[in-house]
Amino acid sequence: MITLKNKYTKTIKNLALVLFVATVFTACSDDDPEVVNEEELITTLTATLTPSGGGTEIILKSVDLDGDGPNAPVITVSANLTANTDYTGVLKIENETESPAEDITVEVLEEDEEHQFFFTPTNNVATVTYNDMDGNGNPIGVRFILTTTTAASGNLTITLRHEPVKTASGVNSGDITNAGGETDVQAVFPVTVQ
């Protein structure tokens, strides 16, 4: 009986050792879980345009509280633009389904190398130049200069792309054509220059 008891004791000790070693090897795996950066809900895009010579700010605002839902965004433009004028522009994006509203612009600036705003005017109403850069010297677009031309009417489309190819030909100049990436938010503002 002593022999049988020693045999079982050795078997139990061996099994315990195997289980311990297996637990250590699986617990020390190098495969750390990848952190998933969930997309934020962007409900509101606001562009504030301040005339360089002073004057009243012009606010362009798009509010889409249901996100990708069936309701179209509510677009407002507070006033017409003045011809042949430089405007200092600042963008703000928010999630207004939370209270207080979450300022997502902060996240865009923290991840500036992964984001870029693009500005697409129609009918030659204006030109836009970037007034901020990421850590690699590529444009972001939270701050920009909008320069109006002569009297005209058209649209100004503002698009935020996530992970665009910032070094591709033409992208650094603000051309969205070959930018790639995913669109986080886009708003089309009807503008009149007079």
Q: What is the CATH number of the domain that holds 166?
A: 2.60.40
Closest CA to 128 of 159, 104, 98: 159
User: Quick one: 8 and 50 in the same domain?
Assistant: no
User: Quick one: 115 and 165 in the same domain?
Assistant: yes
pLDDT at residue number 167 = 74
Closest CA to 185 of 38, 41, 37: 41
pLDDT at residue number 11 = 52
| Dihedral sign (CA 82, 158, 104, 138) | negative
User: Quick one: 50 and 90 in the same domain?
Assistant: yes
pLDDT at residue number 21 = 47
Confirm whether 37 is domain-assigned. no
86/83 Cα distance (integer angstroms): 9
What is the token pair recorded at 147? 């320069």
User: Quick one: 121 and 153 in the same domain?
Assistant: yes
pLDDT at residue number 27 = 47
User: Quick one: 15 and 100 in the same domain?
Assistant: no
User: Quick one: 167 and 189 in the same domain?
Assistant: yes
User: Quick one: 12 and 63 in the same domain?
Assistant: no
Domain residue limits at 7: 1-32
User: Quick one: 9 and 88 in the same domain?
Assistant: no
Helices (H), 28-143: 105-110
91/87 Cα distance (integer angstroms): 13
Confirm whether 39 is domain-assigned. no
User: Quick one: 13 and 77 in the same domain?
Assistant: no
Confirm whether 127 is domain-assigned. yes
Distance from the Cα of residue 109 to its chain's centroid: 9
Confirm whether 125 is domain-assigned. yes
pLDDT at residue number 68 = 79
User: Quick one: 6 and 69 in the same domain?
Assistant: no
Confirm whether 65 is domain-assigned. yes
Confirm whether 106 is domain-assigned. yes
Three-class DSSP category at 24: helix
User: Quick one: 54 and 99 in the same domain?
Assistant: yes
121/138 Cα distance (integer angstroms): 21
Confirm whether 76 is domain-assigned. yes
How many domains are there within the chain?
2
User: Quick one: 161 and 99 in the same domain?
Assistant: yes
- Element at 4 (helix H, strand E): helix 2-27
pLDDT at residue number 151 = 95
pLDDT at residue number 2 = 47
pLDDT in tens, the chain (194 residues): 444 445 445 555 555 554 454 544 444 445 554 444 456 799 999 999 999 988 999 999 999 998 878 999 999 999 999 999 999 999 999 999 999 999 999 999 999 999 999 999 999 999 999 999 999 999 999 999 999 999 999 999 999 999 998 875 556 678 898 889 999 999 999 999 99
C-alpha dist (Å) from residue 68 to 9, 60, 120, 166, 179 = 65, 20, 22, 26, 22
